[in-house]
Amino acid sequence: MLRTPLRAPFRALSTATRSSLKIGLIPADGIGKEVIPAAQKAIEALGSDIPKPEFVPLLAGFEYFTRHGEALPEETVSALKECDCALFGAVSSPSRRVTGYSSPIVALRKILDLYANIRPVISVAANPADKPDVDLVVVRENTECLYVKQETITTTENGREARATRLITERASRRIGKMAFELALDRPRKHVTIIHKSNVLSITDGLFRETVRAVPQLPEVNGRFDGITIAEQLVDSAVYRLFREPQIYDVMVAPNLYGDIISDAAAALVGSLGLVPSINAGDDFVMGEPVHGSAPDIAGQGIANPIASIRSAALMLRRLGYAKGADRLDKAVDEVIREGRVLTPDLGGHAKTTEVLDEILKRI
């Protein structure tokens, strides 16, 4: 189970004085069309704790691509640039190669410079006064690594040969390192674990490791991170220890691919991907995104778990400076989880998406 008391130690974006809040909504594919409307209703229930929300429905995704030949229309990008923030549902990126298709969420992270994907994984204790068994945050670099999608395939005497370019830059590593240390600064343990595989990838992962380790010594930091302890873990052993002893982790900072894998694995510790939220954060924009995928096996059945999308809305609002509204969303979700009476099938229950949402709305 999961609770998200994550406060935003980084600079809140300059929306807290507005009379209205313009929120882009991109359900995209599969269950995104079911959980994003749930998050919208949860936000609407907050009333005066946030500026009056104005929702802007936007299109993107693989299903849109199959109809129109593009996954991310320019109209969506232009509209987002006029929004204060956004919520993204899920995308059904195929595992096979589809000519002309590229993931819209990967593209949006680059276009809007949402360089940090922040994924808290925190268990809900049976008693609110107890500490959670799992309490960690995965801070995933969001713009490079293998996700630059520079791949080639050629034919040689040995058959087809495929290659992919992996990009790690000092600038991106420094930015994500700063974000990780800022988050750690506001947490009780004040501990950062750098995830890498530099024993094999000594140049790319080596640069990531060295750059993040050097963040506390940067002149502009001016000693603010001196009280934070730093550890390192090879990515394969990190996954092993994540399942064996998750309590050793506080803030885990990783390159793009490793962060993606680790955060999905961590979701197993708290019961379901349907519980784990995230935000894609930059210096000027934030986009909430549940960690789960489009779940085509249950899409349209009305049994998708709306909690991750509502948690993501809470993280988004917290990043914008609306902590009171975010706290109300998290508290309502906590109560529904603890009660355990109305839960979707991924958590062992039998409730519909709308039934879980109704229970949460009652408590908001």
Residues 264-287 have pLDDT tens digits of: 899 999 989 999 999 999 999 999
Burial status of residue 362 (CB atoms within 10 A of its CB: 0-12, 13-18, 19 or more): exposed
Q: What is the mean pLDDT of residues 352-356?
A: 98
Give the catalytic positions in this structure. 147, 197, 236, 260, 264
How high is the pLDDT of residue 132? 86
Does the pLDDT value for residue 15 go beyond 80? Answer: no
User: Across residues 154-178, what is the average pLDDT?
Assistant: 96
Q: What is the mean pLDDT of residues 175-185?
A: 97
Taking 60 as the threshold, does the pLDDT of residue 346 lie above it?
A: yes
**Confidence (pLDDT) at 4:** 39
Q: Let me know: does 290 contact 89? Beta carbons within 8 Å.
A: yes
Q: Which of 1-10, 284-293, 309-318 has the lowest mean pLDDT?
A: 1-10
Residue corresponding to tokens 């000594």: 202
Sketch out the chain's domains with CATH numbers.
Answer: 20-363 (3.40.718.10)
pLDDT tens across 49-107, in order? Answer: 999 999 999 999 999 999 999 999 999 999 999 999 999 999 998 888 899 999 999 99
In this predicted structure, the answer to whether residue 14 has a pLDDT above a threshold of 70 is: no
Structure token digits, residue 327: 């706290």
- Do the bridges between strand 145-156 and strand 159-167 make them parallel or antiparallel, or are there none, so unpaired? antiparallel
Q: What is the 3-state secondary structure (H, E, C) of 97-125?
A: CCCCCCCHHHHHHHHCCCCEEEEEEECCC
Per the rule left: phi > 0, alpha: psi between -120 and 50, beta: everything else, 296 is alpha
Closest CA to 260 of 105, 108, 112: 105
* β-bridge partners, 193: 231, 252
Secondary structure (3-state) at 73: coil
In this predicted structure, what is the pLDDT of residue 129?
80
Q: Is residue 10 very low, low, confident or very high in pLDDT (cuts 50, 70, 90)?
A: very low
pLDDT confidence bin for 11, thresholds 50/70/90? very low
Q: Which pTM value belongs to this model?
A: 0.92
Average pLDDT over residues 277-304: 96
- Whether the per-residue pLDDT at 358 is higher than 80: the answer is yes
Q: Report percent pLDDT > 90 for the chain.
A: 87
Confidence of residue 13 (pLDDT cuts 50, 70, 90): low
Strand partners, 165: 150
Q: With a cut of 60, say whether residue 7 has pLDDT above it.
A: no
* Residue 189: band (very low, low, confident or very high) from pLDDT cuts 50, 70, 90: very high
Rounded to the nearest integer, the mean pLDDT of the chain is 93
Show Cβ contacts of residue 356 under 8 Å, excluding neighbours closer than 6 positions.
305, 306, 307, 336, 342, 343, 344
Q: Where are the beta strands (DSSP E) in the chain?
A: 20-28, 52-57, 85-90, 116-122, 135-141, 145-156, 159-167, 191-196, 229-234, 251-254, 279-281, 286-288
